[in-house]
Each structure stands twice: as structure tokens, then as C-alpha cells.
Structure 1
Amino acid sequence: MAEMVGPRLYSCCNCRNQVALHDDVISKSFQGRNGRAFLFSHAMNIMVGPKEDRQLMTGLHTVADVYCCDCREVLGWKYERAYEETQKYKEGKFILEKSKIVKENW
């Protein structure tokens, strides 16, 4: 008998709070502070910190750190503004670090 399996998710590595859907992954080839990171179109159950300008590998961006809303673990950041035209596609998107999230329902 087949089990009912929900959507493939990513959860906070610290408390297992669900933070993103696999279907919202745009790219798995990004770099975070601590190694590989994924670019997501949406994230859930997070808090967004204050905006700040940060010099990243691809240029200057306005970003805001994102935290798990349950345990306050820093999971990555949200791109608020990209100053270079080629980077505008990142605006409003989320970076979640691979080391900070775990797979659920795979």
C-alpha cells in the first residue's frame, strides 16, 4: 500500500521548521557565507532582518538576513536590491545555505 507523501520540503537544520518548497528552487549553484547555497523564489516561516548593503561575489546588493521564525537560526538572506542590471533577477529572492537546511519528504 502506497504511503501518502507530501511535497518535498526544506526545513531548518536546527529545529526542523519548514522553510521552503523544493519546487521553489531556482538554482543550486550559489555561494553562501559557509559554502553552497540555493536560490529560492519563496521562503516561509522566516523572519527578515534589517536591510544592508553588502559586497557579494557578483557585486553590490542590498540584502537582509533571514532567520527561522521558531529558533532564530540565520538561514541565509533575501535580495532586496541588485545594483547591476545583470543581477536584477535576484531581487525579492532568497538564498538559503545548504548547511542550514535539511530535506523532508524525499
Structure 2
Amino acid sequence: MSSDLYAVADFCLIPIGTGEPSVAEYIAECHRILEKSGVTFKMSSDIINLEGPWSQVSQAIHDCHAAVHAKGAPRVATDIRIGTRVDRHIIPGTGNDGKVKRVEDIIKADPSS
């Protein structure tokens, strides 16, 4: 087993004290950081899904915090959920999509439930 676990994570980053009603500029900055990070990611309206080696995932979240502070947010709060598994191999970049596909397959198999 690799010493760096493969992690599937989601996080919600919240800039605090900006005095602005929208946080879109700060989240866009985080997006730019994630594009350079090497982790697989997908953004939704309020959650960012990441996956990759644990060290890269945690570094990417750290780098988002640093970038949002550098953009002027005096405080940043983040909720993070990280999952790992060692009972089967996850093909890098397919962890989140695999979870969603499994649920969609169950719904398609029995749509009346």
C-alpha cells in the first residue's frame, strides 16, 4: 500500500470579513489555484470536490486558503470531508464520478422506489 492514501474529498470554503455580499471572486481565485494543483476537482454552487493523493488534496485546500487571504479576506472558514479506502483500487480521477454513477445506476434500475 502506498504511504500516501488516495483521498476523495469535498470542501466548502467561506471567506469572512470581506464586506462584500458575494464571494464569487474569492472562489474564482480558488478555482485558479486548483487548476494548477494537479488534483482532479469539480465545482458546484457551494462545494468543491477534490481527489488525488492525500498530501496533494490537503495542500490544494491550504493553497486555496492562502490565495483567498492574499485576495483580502481576513478570515477563512472551511468545512472539509475526506474519505479514503484501501479495500479496492480507485482509478485516479474517477472517485467522485464513480460514486455518483453508482447511485444513478441504482435509480435507473428501480425508478419507482
TM-score of the superposed pair, with normalisation by structure 2:
0.26
Based on CA coordinates, which of the two structures has the bigger radius of gyration?
Answer: 2
Higher relative contact order (CA 8 A, sep 6+): 2
TM-score of the superposed pair, with normalisation by structure 1:
0.27
Write 1 or 2 for the structure with the bigger share of helix: 2
Write 1 or 2 for the structure with the bigger share of strand: 1
